[in-house]
Structure 1
Amino acid sequence: MDKPVIILGAKGIAHPALEIFNSNQVIVYGFLDEDESLHGTEINTVSVLGHPEDDGFLKLIGKKTEAFVAVDDNKYRRFLVELLNERRKVQPINAIHESAYISTDAHLGHGNFINAQVTIGAAAEIGHHCILNTGAIIDHKAKLGDFVQIGAGTIINSEVTVEEGAFIGSGVTIVSGLTIGKNARIGAGSVVISSVGDNETVFGNPASKVK
């Protein structure tokens, strides 16, 4: 990558995103965050420059820099993605750690966070703006919709479909062929042996619906 990167967000996954770009010898120009108390501070020697809606910094994106959205909250993540789409006519780039394994025929969208030791298997499909934390396994022919979050060490087995906006905690196992519905939530450590509906929350081994 020829251009440096501006990271939108300076909390949560922002620091590991910086590490990902460092692992790939990509220069990070700086961070932008709405929390004014962070402005002028540094994360591993890289400055938090200002607010993500400041045109003085936004105008750099697309011309002199790329952008990556490092925000855990899906609602605000969507807002920042739309901001970049509308005001700068750009898509956020992917942040992929050098130690991740991605099959040669897996398909990745834009703006994904893929941390160290993540494995993405043959013919798997990853949508846009997903967060895949350390050591997650996405097995062959699994499909993740947009804005999906997968916790560290979670195993998404073959031919599982995870629909848009779903949140899957750390250390979860989802058996092959299931569907996890839109905006569903799965608690950490759960073993999921049946499909989960839209907006449902499940937890446990075996995972059951939380009312």
Structure 2
Amino acid sequence: MDKPVIILGAKGIAHPALEIFNSNEVVVYGFLDEDESLHGTELNVVPVLGNPEDDGYLKLIGKKCEAFVAVDDNQYRQFLVKLLNERRKVQPINAVHKTAYISTDAVIGHGNFINARVNIGAASEVGSHGIFHSGAILDHGVKVADFAQIGAGAVINSGVSIGKGAFIGSGVTVVSGVKIGENARVGAGSVVISDVEDDATVFGNPAAPIKQ
């Protein structure tokens, strides 16, 4: 990649995102974060320049710099992606750790955070702006919609479908063929053996709904 990257967000996954770009010898120009107390500070010698909505910095994105959204909060992540799409007419790039494995037969969209030792199997389809933490495994034929988040060490078996904005906690196992609905949440360490409805929260072995 010839252009340097501006990372939107300076907390949460921002630090590992910086490490991913460094490991791939991609220059990070700086961070943009809404937290004014971070402005003028540095993250591993890379400066936090200002606010993501500041046109002075946004205008660098597109012609001179690429962008990556490093924000864990799904609503704010979606807001920043929309901001880049509408004001800069760009899509965020993928941040893929050099130890991750993505099958040559898999398809991935834009703006995904794919950390160390993530495995994405053959014929899998991954949307855009997802977060895949260290060691997550997607077996063959898995479908993951936009803005989903898969926790560290989670195992998503073959033929599973994960809806937009779903959250899968660390160490979760989802058995083959299960459908996880939009904005559903699966608690850490759970074993999911049946479909999870949209907006539902499940936990346990086997995973069962938690009443709100």
The TM-score bracket by the shorter chain reads over 0.9
Taking the aligned partners of 1:6 and 1:149, their CA distance within structure 2 comes to 22
> Number of residues paired by the alignment?
211
Equivalent runs, 1:4-15 vs 2, <5 Å: 4-15=4-15
Matched residue type, 1:163: G
Map of 1:2 onto structure 2? 2
Equivalent runs, 1:159-178 vs 2, <5 Å: 159-178=159-178
Map of 1:100 onto structure 2? 100
Map of 2:196 onto structure 1? 196
Matched residue type, 2:9: G
Equivalent runs, 1:1-211 vs 2, <5 Å: 1-211=1-211
Q: 3-state DSSP class of the match of 1:202?
A: strand
Structure 1 moving runs of 4+ over 6 Å: none
Q: 3-state DSSP class of the match of 1:11?
A: coil
Taking the aligned partners of 1:178 and 1:204, their CA distance within structure 2 comes to 16
Deviation at 1:176, TM superposition (A): 0.2
So what's the TM-score if we normalise by structure 1?
Answer: 1.00
| Deviations, residues 25-58 of structure 1 (Å, cap 9, x unaligned) | 0000000000000001111110000000001100
Alignment root-mean-square deviation, CA: 0.3
Q: 3-state DSSP class of the match of 1:91?
A: coil
Taking the aligned partners of 2:207 and 2:168, their CA distance within structure 1 comes to 12
Taking the aligned partners of 1:24 and 1:146, their CA distance within structure 2 comes to 24
Query: Structure 1: which 5+ residue stretches go unaligned?
Result: none
Query: Structure 2: which 5+ residue stretches go unaligned?
Result: none
Taking the aligned partners of 2:9 and 2:151, their CA distance within structure 1 comes to 19
Taking the aligned partners of 1:141 and 1:210, their CA distance within structure 2 comes to 29
| Deviations, residues 62-94 of structure 1 (Å, cap 9, x unaligned) | 010000000000000000000000000000000
Taking the aligned partners of 2:138 and 2:37, their CA distance within structure 1 comes to 37
Deviation at 1:101, TM superposition (A): 0.3
Percent identity over the alignment is 76
Taking the aligned partners of 2:187 and 2:141, their CA distance within structure 1 comes to 23
Q: 3-state DSSP class of the match of 2:64?
A: coil
Q: 3-state DSSP class of the match of 1:30?
A: strand
Taking the aligned partners of 2:138 and 2:11, their CA distance within structure 1 comes to 26
Q: 3-state DSSP class of the match of 2:84?
A: helix
